[in-house]
Homo-oligomer: A and B are copies of this chain.
Amino acid sequence: MNDCLFCKIVAGQIPAAKVYEDDLVLAFNDIHPAAPTHMLIIPKEHFPSLQDIPQGKLPVIASLFAAAQKLAETTGIAKTGYRTLINTGPDSGQVVFHVHLHLLGGRKLGKLG
């Protein structure tokens, strides 16, 4: 996936402020944060969007949320509250076409969209 920004971050070809990593998952701070805490949690495997993840690979989503729970704990937003969100396709505002889970917190969050 030569042209994928997030694949390049996974490969170490582009730097990112990494906050979590395991065999399946990488997380880093969003470079345009929409809240005091705004991290992106991605599968290391490339899927352009949520809709493109085949049934058999959906367990990776559980791994993204396991990382979200840990990061919520370490950043303190597990107590104050947080939002986890995936945008898919044109109407959603998805910009990078590599699945990413937004983890947002640190202030009162607004509307769902």
**Residues on A facing B (Cβ under 8 Å):** 34-35, 50-51, 53, 55, 58-59, 61-62, 65-66, 68-69, 72-73, 77-94, 102, 104-113
Contacts and interface: CB of A to CB of B under 8 A. Distances in A.
A80 B113 CA distance: 15
Contacts of A80: 89-91
Nearest to A73: B51
A104 B109 contact: no
B50 A55 contact: no
A112 B51 contact: no
Given A81-B88, A85-B112, A87-B109, 7 more contacts: A35-B113, A50-B84, A58-B66, A81-B94, A93-B112, A109-B113, A111-B113
A85 B61 contact: no
A80 to B, nearest CB: 5
A91 B109 contact: yes
A88 B3 CA distance: 34
